[in-house]
Amino acid sequence: KRIIEDVQLRGKRVIIRADYNVPLDDSLQITDDTRIRSTLPTINRAVDEGAKVILCSHLGRPKGKFDPKFSLAPVAKRLQRLLGKEVIFAPDCIGAAVEGLVAKMQPGDVMLLENLRFHPEEEKNDDGFSKALASLADVYINDAFGAAHRAHASTVGITKYIPEAAAGYLLKKEIEYLEGAVENPVRPFVAILGGAKVSGKIGVIENLGKKVDKVIIGGGMAFTFLKAMGLEIGQSLVENDMLDFAKGVQDHAFSSGVKFYLPVDCVVAASREPGAETKIVPVQEIPKGWYGLDIGPASVKLFSEAVQDAKTILWNGPMGMFEVDAFARGTLAMAHSVANAYALTIVGGGETALAIHRAGESESISFISTGGGAALELLEGKTLPGLAALPNRSA
């Protein structure tokens, strides 16, 4: 794909689609600005080139109309601090008022448009809306990896009206790391998959299952695999309609030589209430009525040994209910093991990224993806519409 360095930005109006869908607390303070920081290289390039920089993004899921809870105003403020220069905040993303503001911009100026999803046409990939957005700029840069799996006006439709388009640095980096790991991994290649549900990871398991040397399964979804082996799992999370799938995955791993690891012990709790009694048991001894909520120390040891010789590790999904301290140990211990491995380490998905931050290991991971759903779809081997819409390098 064409990248930002392939296009002339000097003096041009450049619209950059970012994914500023950041978490906010009740008083609308940003609790994690990674997604904002990650776009700074692209913005700085455009500013240095003397472009008029117009940023746009969605935030949350407002229902196609203005809602102050989903305003990008806090993002404009944070961006201003991170860039160390003024960020003009436009009250809307299309229309006469915005056009007026853009007309007054000088080379090097930076503007952030208000939430694209305040217009229902954005998610409908509406032609008129795409055109209105496109009319603001001469060049389109997509740096919104987190939204690349959405075929919306600002990620797809707009490219019809601005032929001068390219990927920004973040989008490029995400694709290089994630696609590189999946398509061309240095082996041994180990995938660690966790999270609550098997059903959300079917595509990833199927696609990665064909490419990895080892797969490690933890988190809530491990219990479906354990049950498929005939074990008693108490009150642990289970998807009964996924039992056959889970069985099939294990059979396939055995027959294809992929090494398959499940937890051998787990932390169980008598109830899901905070402060409930907990104990560590082998997976063969989960008491009826108890809840398995984290992997145990023997599993941590087993999994950590399994990643020892890895040259590429891809991790998606926590090992347990790590938002509760009592069930965070397995996930945090795996964060340390992954961080200490002599491997290219790639982490995808918001929850796993959070676990890495909490373990204080962000600096020791080769690449932490800013995408949730987008990263999953890429790992499933799907084409991302936002990426597909960009012109090829030779074009």
Tell me the closest approach of the beta carbon of residue 146 to ligand 3PG, in angstroms. 4
> Judged by CB under 6 A, does residue 299 bind ligand 3PG?
no
Q: Which of 13, 17, 35, 214 is labelled catalytic?
A: 35
Q: Which of 168, 220, 350, 371 is labelled catalytic?
A: 350
Tell me the closest approach of the beta carbon of residue 321 to ligand 3PG, in angstroms. 21
Query: Per-residue contact track with ligand 3PG, 147 to 186, x per CB under 6 A?
Result: x--x------------------------------------
- Cβ closer to ligand 3PG: 155 or 345? 155
| Contact between residue 64 and residue 117 where contact means Cβ atoms under 8 Å apart | yes
| Contact between residue 176 and residue 183 where contact means Cβ atoms under 8 Å apart | no
> Judged by CB under 6 A, does residue 62 bind ligand 3PG?
no
| Total of residues contacting ligand 3PG (CB under 6 A) | 8
Out of 50, 107, 203, 373, name the contact with ligand 3PG by CB under 6 A.
373
> Judged by CB under 6 A, does residue 146 bind ligand 3PG?
yes
Whether 150 sits among the annotated catalytic residues: the reply is no
Tell me the closest approach of the beta carbon of residue 307 to ligand 3PG, in angstroms. 27
Q: Which of 37, 131, 160, 197 is labelled catalytic?
A: 197
Helix (H) or strand (E) holding 119: none
SS3 7: coil
Neighbours of 271 (CB within 10 A): 12
Tell me the closest approach of the beta carbon of residue 232 to ligand 3PG, in angstroms. 36
Out of 89, 372, 376, 377, name the contact with ligand 3PG by CB under 6 A.
372
Tell me the closest approach of the beta carbon of residue 132 to ligand 3PG, in angstroms. 21
**187 residue type, one letter:** R
- Cβ closer to ligand 3PG: 108 or 373? 373
* Token reading at 17: 């689609």
Across-strand partners of 217?
193
Four-residue CA torsion sign, 97, 98, 103, 108: positive
- Cβ closer to ligand 3PG: 317 or 372? 372
Q: Considering only the stretches 134-142, 145-153, 201-209, 360-368, report the one whose residues sit in contact with ligand 3PG under the rule CB under 6 A.
A: 145-153
Q: Which of 64, 108, 180, 373 is labelled catalytic?
A: 373
Rounded (5°) CA angle 63-103-19: 35
- Cβ closer to ligand 3PG: 132 or 147? 147
Tell me the closest approach of the beta carbon of residue 49 to ligand 3PG, in angstroms. 27
- Cβ closer to ligand 3PG: 32 or 309? 32
Distance CA 296, CA 283 (A): 9
Residues 6+ apart with CB under 8 A from 385: 148, 149, 150, 151, 155, 156
Residues 6+ apart with CB under 8 A from 189: 181, 211, 212, 213, 214, 310, 311, 312, 313, 314
Tell me the closest approach of the beta carbon of residue 194 to ligand 3PG, in angstroms. 18
- Cβ closer to ligand 3PG: 209 or 385? 385
Whether 350 sits among the annotated catalytic residues: the reply is yes
Four-residue CA torsion sign, 284, 285, 290, 291: negative
Four-residue CA torsion sign, 386, 394, 166, 94: negative
Antiparallel, parallel or unpaired: β 265-269 and 291-295: antiparallel
Interaction residues for ligand 3PG, span 7-26 (CB under 6 A): 19, 21
Q: Which residue is nearest to ligand 3PG (CB)?
A: 21
Residue whose C-alpha is closest to residue 49's, from 184, 141, 120, 132: 141
Chain-centroid distance, C-alpha 283? 31
Catalytic positions are 35, 197, 350, 373
**Which residues of the shown chain bind ligand 3PG in the complex (CB under 6 A)?**
19, 21, 61, 146-147, 150, 372-373
